[in-house]
């Protein structure tokens, strides 16, 4: 007479990856292996000016002198950089696209399936999108409307041609190519990305969004994003990422640089859902090695990072803020969910240089399955950073008993007027908690989603409205299982 238990927590966290489909668009051209020739090809193919090629080559030569970092709490076999495809563009009509109507219908369908409409005025009516497929930006919506406001939003390749002065002035000033191994690699071989420029006294009239999709097996995606916000301006930017299921691990090494001038504000949100790889082995998942950094250059400027990290076999990223301007503010809100065999080592760096600078770190790590989830953060208060303040809160939620959560907070204070607070908690979703919901007639999947959303609430409320719902659903989806 004894009944089977309806559904275990384990079953709930095992679910299929929804975006694992592959689009049947043949890459028009792929370049495999890394050498100066590869870099010269990419640069020539993109019709780049000489200075850009020089930048790439300098980065490459520097990269050759560097060693792959091993300090992160992640484990994977060495990457063979000669097996990576450094350039892959979808086979498209050679002519330049005049309007959205000319985008390949198959590509359009792909992005539709991902919930990203490339047709303007459809769906997210107040969000401009730059869609990047493998190595190439395929479409940017609402360009004209943004132009009226003086806002530049285009692919990085286009910006190199159209706005070379801005690129020369800012590229590599926040993340120099010497910064780290993957930053050097990206600087050598980056293929596309997004560029945003908000002129003085301008509030960007809509949310800006980039959507990254890796479609070709073995291809690396190396994109670069540069956002500049002039005095008294404001922009909110969101990036989303997915990839099909592959048998081999894919490399994603991106750079994001933000520059905020006096009294300006940049809000950068990420919903990362790269394929996480096989549930049992992690095979085929994305290696996500990303360098993201913002510079609060002007007084009273503010940079706010919000990230929802749910995908990738390995995540290695620390969106950071350099608080140069007096009274500048840096924020980092993160939810990192790892299931199966995923490994995440993520956190932030808050570098206080200016006086009266403030930073706030809220990190929520959720681990399930056999995954490993680490928070790594640095709060550094410089000699001249009078009255700097930081508040850090680091919470870990464990689901089941085979996963791991770790925190590595580093604090370096050189000015005695600083005030720092650090709070940390570790909790679990227990069968008791789940039963409490069940005993009230609430099903186990709704229960898990509700408990996790409750845990992540303080981060979700930082997301732009349109995406808060998406993020909530995404977490639900990640934890979705077959009942019975």
Partner 1 sequence: MLSIKDLTATIADKQILKGINLEVKAGEVHAIMGPNGSGKSTLAKVLAGAPHIQEAKGEVLFEGKPLLDMAPEDRALAGVFMAFQYPVEVPGVNNASFLRMAYNARLKAAGKEEVDPLEFDELLIEKSKIVEIPEHFLDRAVNHGFSGGEKKRNEILQMAVLDPKLALLDETDSGLDVDALRIVAGGINRLRSKDKAIILVTHYQRILDYIQPDFVHILFDGRIIKSGDKSLALEVEEQGFENIKAG
Closest CB to partner 1 among residues 7, 350: 7
Cα–Cα distance, 451 to 445 (Å, whole number): 10
Six-digit token string for 214: 């890796």
Q: How far is the CB of 9 from partner 1 (least distance, A)?
A: 10
Q: How far is the CB of 364 from partner 1 (least distance, A)?
A: 10
Name residue 224's beta-bridge partners: 193, 255
Six-digit token string for 174: 């926040």
Closest CB to partner 1 among residues 6, 248: 6
Closest CB to partner 1 among residues 30, 458: 458
Cβ-proximal residues to 380 (8 Å cutoff; 6+ apart), any chain: 349, 350, 351, 352, 411, 412, 413, 414
Closest CB to partner 1 among residues 85, 479: 479
Closest CB to partner 1 among residues 248, 450: 450
Q: How do beta strands 152-155 and 207-213 pair?
A: unpaired
Q: How far is the CB of 175 from partner 1 (least distance, A)?
A: 34
Burial of residue 422 (number of CB atoms within 10 Å: 0-12, 13-18, 19+): middle
Closest CB to partner 1 among residues 5, 61: 5
Name the H helices within 312-464: 431-438, 444-460
Closest CB to partner 1 among residues 202, 363: 363
- Give the 3-state secondary structure of residue 5: coil
Q: How far is the CB of 150 from partner 1 (least distance, A)?
A: 41
Q: Give the phi and the psi of residue 432 in degrees, each rounded to 5.
A: -65, -40
305 neighbors 319 (Cβ within 8 angstroms) = yes
Closest CB to partner 1 among residues 378, 438: 438
Cα–Cα distance, 69 to 249 (Å, whole number): 18
Cα–Cα distance, 195 to 41 (Å, whole number): 22
Q: How far is the CB of 306 from partner 1 (least distance, A)?
A: 17
Q: How far is the CB of 444 from partner 1 (least distance, A)?
A: 7
Q: How far is the CB of 342 from partner 1 (least distance, A)?
A: 23
Q: How far is the CB of 461 from partner 1 (least distance, A)?
A: 11
Six-digit token string for 324: 């140069």
Cα–Cα distance, 432 to 440 (Å, whole number): 13
39 neighbors 308 (Cβ within 8 angstroms) = no
Q: How far is the CB of 3 from partner 1 (least distance, A)?
A: 5
Closest CB to partner 1 among residues 94, 440: 440
Nearest-CA neighbor of 396 among 336, 436, 332? Answer: 336
Six-digit token string for 238: 């969101």
Cα–Cα distance, 464 to 480 (Å, whole number): 24
Q: In Å, how far are 62, 395, 423 from 305, measured between CA atoms?
A: 29, 17, 19
Closest CB to partner 1 among residues 414, 430: 430
Q: How do beta strands 192-198 and 152-155 pair?
A: antiparallel
Q: How far is the CB of 454 from partner 1 (least distance, A)?
A: 3
Q: How far is the CB of 18 from partner 1 (least distance, A)?
A: 24
Six-digit token string for 403: 């996963």
How close are the terminal C-alpha atoms of the chain, in Å? Answer: 17
Closest CB to partner 1 among residues 160, 448: 448
**Residues contributing to the site for partner 1 (CB under 8 A):** 1-3, 5-6, 427, 430-444, 446, 450-451, 453-458
Cβ-proximal residues to 333 (8 Å cutoff; 6+ apart), any chain: 304, 305, 306, 307, 362, 363, 458, 459, 462
């Amino acid at each position: 007479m004894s009944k089977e238990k309806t559904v275990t927590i384990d079953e709930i966290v095992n679910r299929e990856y929804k975006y694992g489909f592959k689009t049947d668009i043949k890459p028009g051209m792929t370049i495999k292996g890394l050498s100066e020739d590869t870099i010269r090809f990419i640069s020539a193919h993109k019709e780049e000016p000489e200075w850009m090629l020089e930048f790439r080559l300098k980065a490459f030569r520097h990269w050759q002198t560097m060693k792959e970092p091993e300090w992160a709490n992640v484990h994977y076999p060495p990457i063979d950089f000669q097996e990576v495809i450094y350039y892959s563009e979808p086979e498209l009509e050679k002519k330049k696209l005049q309007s959205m109507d000319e985008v390949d219908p198959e590509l359009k369908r792909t992005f539709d399936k991902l919930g990203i409409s490339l047709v303007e005025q459809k769906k997210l009516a107040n969000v401009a999108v730059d869609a990047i497929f493998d190595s190439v930006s395929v479409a940017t919506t609402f360009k004209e409307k943004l132009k009226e406001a003086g806002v530049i939003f285009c692919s990085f390749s286009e910006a190199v041609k159209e706005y070379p002065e801005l690129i020369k002035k800012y590229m590599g000033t926040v993340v120099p190519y010497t910064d780290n191994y993957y930053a050097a690699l990206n600087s050598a071989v980056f293929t596309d990305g997004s560029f945003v420029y908000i002129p003085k006294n301008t509030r960007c009239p809509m949310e800006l969004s980039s959507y990254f999709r890796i479609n070709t097996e073995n291809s690396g995606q190396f994109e670069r994003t540069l956002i500049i916000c002039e005095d008294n301006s404001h922009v909110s930017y969101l990036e989303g990422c997915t990839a099909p299921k592959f048998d081999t691990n894919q490399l994603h090494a991106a750079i994001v640089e933000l520059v905020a001038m006096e009294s300006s504000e940049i809000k950068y949100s990420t919903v990362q859902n790269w394929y996480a790889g096989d549930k049992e082995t992690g095979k085929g998942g994305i290696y996500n090695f990303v360098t993201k950094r913002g510079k609060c250059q002007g007084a009273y400027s503010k940079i706010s990072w919000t990230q929802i990290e749910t995908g990738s076999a390995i995540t290695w990223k620390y969106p950071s803020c350099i608080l140069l301007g007096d009274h500048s503010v840096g924020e980092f809100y993160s939810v990192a969910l790892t299931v199966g065999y995923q490994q995440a080592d993520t956190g932030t760096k808050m570098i206080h240089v200016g006086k009266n600078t403030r930073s706030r770190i809220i990190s929520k790590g959720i681990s399930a399955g056999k995954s490993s989830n680490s928070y790594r953060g640095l709060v550094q208060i410089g000699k001249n950073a009078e009255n700097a303040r930081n508040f850090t809160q680091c919470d870990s939620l464990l689901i089941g008993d085979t996963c791991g959560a770790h925190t590595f907070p580093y604090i370096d204070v050189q000015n005695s007027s600083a005030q720092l607070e650090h709070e940390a908690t570790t909790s679990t979703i227990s069968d008791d908690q789940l039963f409490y919901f069940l005993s009230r007639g609430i099903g186990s999947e709704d229960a898990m989603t509700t408990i996790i959303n409750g845990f992540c609430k303080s981060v979700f409320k930082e997301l732009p409205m349109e995406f808060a719902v998406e993020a909530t659903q995404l977490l639900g989806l990640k934890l979705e299982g077959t009942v019975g």
